[in-house]
Chain A
Amino acid sequence: MARILLKGISKTFKDETVIQDLNLEIKDGSFTVLVGPSGCGKSTTLRMVAGLEKQSGGEIWIDDTCVNDTPPGMRDVAMVFQNYALYPTMTVRGNIEFGLKNRGVPRNERDKLVKDISEIVGLAPFLDKKPQSLSGGQRQRVALARAMVKKPKVFILDEPLSNLDAKLRNQMRTELIQLHKRLGTTFVYVTHDQVEAMSMGDEIVVMNKGAIQQADSPMKLYQDPANLFTAQFIGTPAMNIIDMQGMKGLNIRSDRPVGFIGFRPEQGLLNPDRPVEGLVLKGDILTRESLGAENIYQIRSDAGTFFVKTFLRPLEPADAVTVAVPHDQLYYFGPDGGRIYGAGMQERALIAGGAIV
């Protein structure tokens, strides 16, 4: 078990700065997920923690040791790779015990550890097979077992589920969550899939362009995004954003200039049957996506195109609709994308887009 501390980390490849002044604390025993679009620096960050990449500046601490000059094998870190990186010339057993052998663990102890771990991940019948003869899911388990058997302080997983099909991915997700509970070790997990991040992590670090956008619990991220990027990155469909440029008739009370207003598709009320205090938009339905329990509408209004998601309601047949968003479900952002707290609308009900504007 370990706490990881990144202090002022930066990384440059040749002339290109990938990460600049990154500070992060990964809590002991947490399941921390680094999430962001590809090229945001999440994998690089992870690889620096593992020691596979050397940071250009800053310090990495695992517990009370600065590991800047510790080689990867000595950091007590285990990693599961995207393509598993199993040794194709060794059997499953050979793969799992290779790290133990290199540490000089005696044979009988090794056998016991391999036996225990292979039972946990359900590999016992395959120990003498070569990885090439296993299915994708089984290979994934070998990779997990190989990492787990070393009883590392930190468990690092780099997009481990991206090569599995959708069904297996869901199953492995649950298994990983259970595994984390059982081991209680610090897990650091990298993914570009926000759904995966939300469903697995107890701590999520949203990254973009080499900088941390927000690090919080999943619910906090969803309900209280710190900026436009996080707001749009978390949630499906993404938060609707209305650009205040070119919008008239909205009178907003705020200390700072407001650049954007946002609301979540699931908070938009389609043709409300009673008056709602908040933002009201008129528009035409462009597309309807029916997923059974929920329906997603794409609506075009003068304020732009946005999505509305409804639950357990019949599909709306009309083309022209009114959408209302209650005051307390509106998010305000500055022109730089930073969140503005304490802003609100002057009038009680405002109609933007549609008829009035």
Chain B
Amino acid sequence: MKAANRAIEGPIRAAAGTPMNGIRSKRALLRTIMNVVLRLANAAGLLLLVLIFALPFVWMLSTSLKTLPETMIFPPEWIPRNPVWKNYVDAWNTGPFLHYMTNSVIIAVSILLLQMLTIIPASYAFARYKFAGSGFLFSIVMVTLMIPSQLIFLPVYLELSAFKLLNTHLGLILPFASSAFGIFLLRQAFRQISDELIEAARLDQAAEWKIIVRIMVPMVKPVLVTFALFSFIAHWNDYFWPLVMTTNETARTLPIGIAKIREVEGVGTWNILMAGNLILVAPILVVFFLSQRQIIKAFVYNGVK
């Protein structure tokens, strides 16, 4: 900003024509040029950055509409002349995709609903009640928050197998029926609500459950939405858990189906693979563009608690 002001100042002074100002005007001109160059470089940098992150997705779309020979042409054609929509049909037919899709929806939605049912009362109790052992019980939540599922899949697999829950929806849902992260977030939110509000409700003769359902939960709605987005995206995308906990198609989800296209179609059929990939990615990308702000908040919140 400052540099720009000086740059404007320069040429006007130069009009006075003294030798001093002559030197000044040269400097000012240099500054103006530098300024323009910097701005251009900045814009070019931003563009490059966007390309690095957007082009792969564009390439994915482009490939998904090509014939196999077309994928091998260089320099690449970004817009295929005759889009091959059939690739999507082929991808969809490599496996029971409707089944995968239904499983994905059932599992992600059930996990979300169960999490809501378990984390709301738990976080409310941790935030609002004093009870013996609450410190110990909360430490279980904190330890869970720190344990990644990648660490314990083997014993959980054995456990689920003992319960006869392998290859069932329940086996994929139950381990995530509650969320330590959710409890952590929501407990903070409940704690921030002023005591006066609860006291006012007590004087209004509201029963405890009514205070929770009618007053407290509506107040933490933004945090609930944030968490819901986080949870749904995480479980919709999850590949590891369904891969490890299933041995047949009964409960397998979309990510497994997509990864399997390669086995069915053979290596090198990138056009069909990318078409399948788009089926998985498109819903998430659409949701992301519709509520970018909310989703970014949902994920970044984790880092700035």
Interface positions of B from 41 to 98, Cβ below 8 Å from A: none
Q: Report chain B residues within 8 Å CB of A88.
A: 219
Interface string of B189-211 (1 = CB under 8 A from A): 00000101101111111110010
Q: Which of A71, A85, A103 interacts with B200 by CB under 8 Å?
A: A85
Cβ of A73 < 8 Å from any Cβ of B? yes
Contact across chains for B210 and A79 when beta carbons are under 8 A apart:
no
Q: Report chain A residues within 8 Å CB of B219.
A: 88-89
Contact across chains for A99 and B204 when beta carbons are under 8 A apart:
yes
Cβ of B218 < 8 Å from any Cβ of A? yes
Contact across chains for B210 and A85 when beta carbons are under 8 A apart:
no
* Residue with the highest number of chain A CB atoms closer than 10 Å, among B204, B205, B215: B204
Contact across chains for B215 and A50 when beta carbons are under 8 A apart:
no
Contact across chains for B206 and A73 when beta carbons are under 8 A apart:
yes
Cβ of A83 < 8 Å from any Cβ of B? yes
Interface positions of A from 151 to 172, Cβ below 8 Å from B: none
Q: Report chain B residues within 8 Å CB of A305.
A: none
**How near does chain B come to A12, taking the closest CB pair, in angstroms?**
17
Given contacts A73-B206, A98-B206, A102-B210, contact A87 B201 (CB under 8 A): yes
Closest to B210 in A: A102
Q: Report chain A residues within 8 Å CB of B199.
A: 50, 52, 72, 79, 81, 85
Interface positions of A from 37 to 55, Cβ below 8 Å from B: 50-52
CA distance A71 to B206 in the complex (A): 11
Contact across chains for A83 and B196 when beta carbons are under 8 A apart:
yes
How many A-B pairs have beta carbons closer than 8 Å: the answer is 60
Contact across chains for B196 and A82 when beta carbons are under 8 A apart:
yes
Closest to B221 in A: A89
CA distance A165 to B196 in the complex (A): 21
Interface string of A93-105 (1 = CB under 8 A from B): 0000011001100
Closest to A103 in B: B205
Contact across chains for B197 and A85 when beta carbons are under 8 A apart:
yes
Contact across chains for A102 and B194 when beta carbons are under 8 A apart:
no
Interface string of A309-347 (1 = CB under 8 A from B): 000000000000000000000000000000000000000
Given contacts A81-B196, A83-B194, contact A99 B215 (CB under 8 A): no
CA distance A87 to B206 in the complex (A): 13
Contact across chains for B215 and A79 when beta carbons are under 8 A apart:
no
Q: Report chain B residues within 8 Å CB of A293.
A: none
Q: Report chain A residues within 8 Å CB of B202.
A: 51-52, 71-73
Contact across chains for B200 and A81 when beta carbons are under 8 A apart:
yes
Contact across chains for A87 and B197 when beta carbons are under 8 A apart:
yes
Cβ of A77 < 8 Å from any Cβ of B? yes
CA distance A234 to B99 in the complex (A): 80
Cβ of A74 < 8 Å from any Cβ of B? yes
Q: Report chain B residues within 8 Å CB of A87.
A: 197, 200-201, 214-215
Q: Which of B197, B203, B214 interacts with A79 by CB under 8 Å?
A: B203
Q: Hey, which bits of chain A sit against chain B, CB under 8 A?
A: 50-52, 71-74, 77-79, 81-83, 85-89, 98-99, 102-103, 146, 150
> Could you list some 19 contacts between A and B, CB below 8 A?
A50-B199, A52-B199, A73-B203, A74-B205, A77-B203, A79-B199, A79-B200, A82-B196, A83-B194, A85-B194, A85-B196, A86-B200, A87-B197, A98-B201, A98-B206, A98-B214, A99-B204, A99-B205, A150-B204
**Which 5 residue pairs of A and B lie closest in terms of their CB atoms, listed nearest first?**
A73-B205, A99-B204, A89-B218, A85-B196, A85-B200
